[in-house]
């Protein structure tokens, strides 16, 4: 049988694309090597799926071409997805910073998509391992699989990024895109904890488990994120670190302000004249005690407030508000939430997500060199890009 479209990958973008294409009367089949569809949706957002963000704007996505995502994001918006979720009777709430989560379980989003796919007449085949994808003599495509060959007029690559291989992530989509001559922007783990050398860990490890509100930037860039920072046994994590990891490149320092909006060193210095001089320096800092002791030690200081010099307070200020440290690396694909880089947007049409040089081949979701911030941005890109391709196949 000749399908109108074969969608490879039953994740967020693939399911969305298949639903929309099937609603337009296209005969669509979705193939996935996993035993269950939408597994990353199911585990996302701590099991509650941060399915979009109220503040979606194109500048919150990283790409070699920052304008590329604009078309799909404006044609299928966060409000369109919110309306879909509400119509499905799924209760949701805003957690923080515009991030929308299910009140109940992420499973509800997967179930909604599978119901919609079924209702639209789309087919889903799980546990099917695709192999070579090639053009047929008729101008269509052939997809070899362990369940036989599939033929279609269009193929949509929706096999997602490389993160969490344990859950079925693979580099399949990148390889197929490359085989068709599409360029790939080098991929790297993003939204991922940062790790440090043993020497640096000596200062970080004793604070493991401690979480503070911090502002984190990266050397040489204007961007900075003010969110939680978590000290761990391996390094630094928490939302502010995951966010900056997407912008960090090896060798660069990250800059951490452990108490943004204040100058704790100046406040301490002022405390001297307010009669606090006899107190231990670490005790007057408005930080968790272990952290206060750590920033004082890192500044090479000790002793009473009264004993500190002007230069000492300046060093302390840098230790608290501009702690610069060069990560040894990231935790890698094992824990990264997304893949930065991917199919080069120069080779794709922004409206239809189709390959400019291969009519009928589309690439959607995380495979594309579009990577969102933490907080529902990546799912919105999956919904929007999937929707856009669904209108075109
Ligand atoms: P996705 O990964 O969803 O789907 C790809 C599909 O292709 C999978 O079903 C996979 O089995 C299949 N596949 C892969 N290789 C294949 C092959 N060789 N053959 C056949 N099938 C193959 N984002 C967000 O916005 N909010 C959030 O709360 C979270 N939370 C979160 C938590 C965790 C732990 C992770 C790892 C990621 C997130 N994300 C997130 C990111 C989000 O999950 C991700 O950006 C989207 O799922 C991407 O959607 P895609 O459809 O592109 O890929």
The atom of ligand 1 lying closest to the CA of 101 is 28
What residues are paired with 227 via a beta bridge? 214
Tokens of 227: 């969110």
Residue 61 has pLDDT above 90, yes or no: yes
> Buried b vs exposed e over 283-299: b needs ≥16 C-beta within 10 Å?
ebbebeeebbbbbbebb
pLDDT tens digit sequence for 310-357: 999 999 999 999 999 999 999 999 999 999 999 999 999 999 999 999
Return the pLDDT at 167: 86
Return the pLDDT at 39: 97
Q: Say how many Å lie between the CA of residue 164 and the centre of ligand 1.
A: 9
Q: Which of 20, 41, 96, 160 to mutate to test the pocket of ligand 1 (most atoms within 8 A of CB)?
A: 160
Q: Closest Cα partner for 364 from 352, 372, 347?
A: 352
- In the chain, the domains with their CATH numbers are 2-189+338-390 (3.50.50.60), 194-330 (2.40.30.10)
Task: Work out the average pLDDT over 35-45.
Answer: 97
C-beta of 366 in contact with ligand 1 (< 6 A): yes
pLDDT tens digit sequence for 169-208: 999 999 999 999 999 999 999 999 999 999 999 999 999 9
C-beta of 335 in contact with ligand 1 (< 6 A): no
Residue 274 has pLDDT above 90, yes or no: no
C-beta of 344 in contact with ligand 1 (< 6 A): no
Return the pLDDT at 286: 96
C-beta of 238 in contact with ligand 1 (< 6 A): no
C-beta of 193 in contact with ligand 1 (< 6 A): no
The atom of ligand 1 lying closest to the CA of 16 is 51
C-beta of 294 in contact with ligand 1 (< 6 A): no
pLDDT above 70 coverage of the chain, percent: 100
Residue 272 has pLDDT above 90, yes or no: no
Q: Which pLDDT band, with edges at 50, 70 and 90, does 273 fall under?
A: confident
This model's pTM is above 0.95: yes
Lookup result for tokens 């790790």: 195
C-beta of 208 in contact with ligand 1 (< 6 A): no
Cα dihedral sign for 194, 198, 204, 206? positive
- Cα 121 from Cα 115, distance rounded (Å): 10
Residue nearest atom 49 of ligand 1, based on CA coordinates = 12
Task: Compare 168 and 128 and report the one with higher pLDDT.
Answer: 128
The atom of ligand 1 lying closest to the CA of 37 is 9
Q: Say how many Å lie between the CA of residue 74 and the centre of ligand 1.
A: 22
Q: Closest Cα partner for 187 from 48, 74, 339?
A: 339
Residue 276 has pLDDT above 90, yes or no: no
- Cα 282 from Cα 305, distance rounded (Å): 8
Pairing assessment for the beta strands 2-8 and 148-157 based on DSSP bridges: parallel
Q: Which pLDDT band, with edges at 50, 70 and 90, does 361 fall under?
A: very high
Q: Say how many Å lie between the CA of residue 91 and the centre of ligand 1.
A: 22
Average predicted confidence (pLDDT) for the chain = 97
Q: Say how many Å lie between the CA of residue 296 and the centre of ligand 1.
A: 43
Residue nearest atom 8 of ligand 1, based on CA coordinates = 11
Return the pLDDT at 81: 98
Q: Which of 9, 161, 170 to mutate to test the pocket of ligand 1 (most atoms within 8 A of CB)?
A: 9
C-beta of 167 in contact with ligand 1 (< 6 A): no
- Cα 206 from Cα 210, distance rounded (Å): 9
pLDDT tens digit sequence for 80-132: 999 999 999 999 999 999 999 999 999 999 999 999 999 999 999 999 999 99
Q: Which of 40, 50, 127, 146 to mutate to test the pocket of ligand 1 (most atoms within 8 A of CB)?
A: 40
Q: The complex's ipTM?
A: 0.99
C-beta of 20 in contact with ligand 1 (< 6 A): no
Provide φ and ψ at 181, rounded to 5°: 90, 10
């Amino acid at each position: 049988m000749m399908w109108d479209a074969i969608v490879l990958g039953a994740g967020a973008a693939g399911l969305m694309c298949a639903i929309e294409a099937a609603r337009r009367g296209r005969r669509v089949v979705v193939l996935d090597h996993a035993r269950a569809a939408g597994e990353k949706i199911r585990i996302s957002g701590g099991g509650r799926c941060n399915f979009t963000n109220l503040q979606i704007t194109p500048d919150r996505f990283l790409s070699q071409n920052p304008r590329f995502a604009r078309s799909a994001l404006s044609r299928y918006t966060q409000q369109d997805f919110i309306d879909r979720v509400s119509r499905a009777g799924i209760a949701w709430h805003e957690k923080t910073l515009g991030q929308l989560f299910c009140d109940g379980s992420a499973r509800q989003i997967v179930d909604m998509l599978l119901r919609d796919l079924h209702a639209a007449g789309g087919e889903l085949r799980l546990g099917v391992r695709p192999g070579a994808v090639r053009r047929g003599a008729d101008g269509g495509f052939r997809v070899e699989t362990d369940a036989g060959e599939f033929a279609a007029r269009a193929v949509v690559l929706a096999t997602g990024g490389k993160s969490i291989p344990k859950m079925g992530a693979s580099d399949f989509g990148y390889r197929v895109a490359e085989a068709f001559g599409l360029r790939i922007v080098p991929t790297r783990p993003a939204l991922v904890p940062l790790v440090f050398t043993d020497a640096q860990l000596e200062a970080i490890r004793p604070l493991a488990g401690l979480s503070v509100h911090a502002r984190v930037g990266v050397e040489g860039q204007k961007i900075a994120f003010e969110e939680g920072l978590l000290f761990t046994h391996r390094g630094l994590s928490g939302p502010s670190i995951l966010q900056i990891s997407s912008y960090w490149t090896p060798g660069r320092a990250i800059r951490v302000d452990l108490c943004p909006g204040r100058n704790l060193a100046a406040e301490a210095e002022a405390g001297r004249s307010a009669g606090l001089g006899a107190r231990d320096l670490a005790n007057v800092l408005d930080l968790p005690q272990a952290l206060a002791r750590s920033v004082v030690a890192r500044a090479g200081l000790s002793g009473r407030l009264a004993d500190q010099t002007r230069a000492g307070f300046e060093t302390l200020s840098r230790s608290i508000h501009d702690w610069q440290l060069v990560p040894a690396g990231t935790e890698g694909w094992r824990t990264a939430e997304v893949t930065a880089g991917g199919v080069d947007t120069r080779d794709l049409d922004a409206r239809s997500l189709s390959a400019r040089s291969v009519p009928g081949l589309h690439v959607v979701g995380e495979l594309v060199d579009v990577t969102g911030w933490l907080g529902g941005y990546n799912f919105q890109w999956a919904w929007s890009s999937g929707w856009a391709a669904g209108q075109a196949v």
